[in-house]
Structure 1
Amino acid sequence: MSSDSALIRAALDAAGLAGAEDVPIGAVVFGPDGTELARAANAREQLGDPTAHAEILALRAAAQVYGDGWRLEGTTLAVTVEPCTMCAGALVMARVARVVFGAWEPKTGAAGSLWDVVRDRRLTHRPEVRGGVLADECAALLEGFFARQRDLG
């Protein structure tokens, strides 16, 4: 499988798919052999859907091409920012084996910052997690987006 940095670079590329109004967060699901199964960017504004986070959209697309329709066992999801509680819960429920993320999210992160949903010992599935991969690069993408939003008023 590719290095974790390469996985996050793919997620950074996916972030470029976000519409102008959407926060540029990208997620990519890789199969057990490292092949890309699906990629997506945050599309909440574009779709008018509060659940249209990059991770959710990538999981949905991957489930169409891998596994039995919802179990993504053996897969890895790479995302540019630490998953929120909704996305962390979806990763657990989809049985993703491994989560790699870029920037830490101290306000809403649910993979170690604010909460640690993905490693809660009470759950029946807990993916391996590696955070902070290319964190500065991922954070800069978000900071640039929010600076532009502030400039627009």
Structure 2
Amino acid sequence: MREAIRQARKAEKLMEVPIGCVIVHDGQIIARGYNRRNTDKNTLSHAELNAIKKAGRKMGDWRLEGCTMYVTLEPCQMCAGALVQSRIDEVVIGCMNAKAGCAGSVINLLQMDGFNHQVRIRRGILEEECSTMLSDFFRKLREIKKQKKLMKSYSEEEPGADS
């Protein structure tokens, strides 16, 4: 999970929501990914999908059987679907996502009986660190937006007008 957090910090440096993940096979990291949605201007550029693409290339197969994904935030519906489709054995989650999590918070797509594959789930690994990283990011983002709004308001005032 520590390496997934390092990946999330890469996203944060790009002013992306700090979500990171790694995929492990036979005790070795075979792929890393971090959120790049805004940077790439692509809704598919989630940490999990970026790592799954790399892992498939590394394994030489789209099936990632025998692999475990470590991710800092509970996967959304798109990423949960990709985990099922790629046949990843297990996902280890840092913190849960009450608004969009699909590994048990909103719905559990990873373990639905009707699907041809179910993914084992471990939750709460380095939870506080993962959660704090996200909270701090959004707090900073709100402050930046507030400052931009103030600057815009200030720049729109008429020159020489009384305040």
Task: Answer 1 or 2: which has greater helix percent.
Answer: 2
| Cα separation, 1, equivalents of 2:125 and 2:28 | 20
Secondary structure, in 3 states, of the residue corresponding to 1:107? coil
The amino acid of 1:28's aligned partner reads V
Poorly superposed stretches of 4+, deviation over 2 Å: none
Structure 1 unpaired stretches of 5+: 1-7
Shift of 1:127: 1.1
Task: Indicate the residue corresponding to 1:24 in structure 2.
Answer: 18
Distance 2:14 2:57 in 1: 27
- Which amino acid in structure 2 is aligned with residue 61 of structure 1? K
Task: Tell me the distance in 2 between the aligned counterparts of 1:20 and 1:73.
Answer: 32
**Could you tell me how far 1:40 is from its partner in structure 2?**
1.0
How many angstroms does 1:21 deviate by?
2.2
Alignment partner of 1:10 is 2:3: yes
Amino acid across the alignment from 1:135: E
Out of 41, 54, 61, the residue aligned to residue 34 of structure 2 is 41
CA distance in 2 between partners of 1:40 and 1:126 (Å): 22
Q: Which of 72, 97, 104 is residue 64 of structure 2 equivalent to?
A: 72
State the alpha-carbon separation in 1 of the partners of residues 60 and 116 from structure 2: 19
User: One-letter code of the match for 1:151?
Assistant: E
Give, as a single letter, the amino acid of the residue that structure 1 aligns with 2:96.
Answer: W
Q: How many correspondences in the alignment? A: 144
1:29 touches 1:78 (CA, 8 Å); kept in 2? Answer: yes
Q: Where does 1:99-138 land on structure 2 (aligned, <5 Å)?
A: 99-138=91-130
Identity over the aligned pairs, expressed in percent? 41
Instruction: Kindly state the Cα deviation for residue 34 of structure 1 after the two structures are TM-superposed.
Output: 1.0
CA distance in 1, matches of 2:138, 2:101: 18
Which protein has the larger Cα radius of gyration, Structure 1 or Structure 2?
A: 2
String of CA shifts for 1:1-37, please: whole Å, max 9, x gaps: xxxxxxx111101112214321010010001x11000
Structure 2 residue aligned with 1:4: none
Secondary structure at the aligned position of 1:73 is classed as coil
Partners of 1:129 and 1:67 in 2: CA distance: 25
**CA RMSD, 1 decimal:** 0.8
TM-score (norm 1): 0.92
Deviates more, 1:108-117 or 1:126-135: 126-135
Identify the residue that residue 142 of structure 1 maps to in structure 2: 134
Instruction: Note the residue ranges of structure 2 that are not aligned, 5 or more in a row.
Output: 146-163
Q: Residues 38-68 of structure 1: CA distance to partner in whole angstroms, max 9, x if unpaired?
A: 1011000110000100000000011111142
If the length of structure 2 is used for normalisation, what is the TM-score?
0.86
Aligned to 2:77: 85
CA distance in 1, matches of 2:4, 2:32: 8
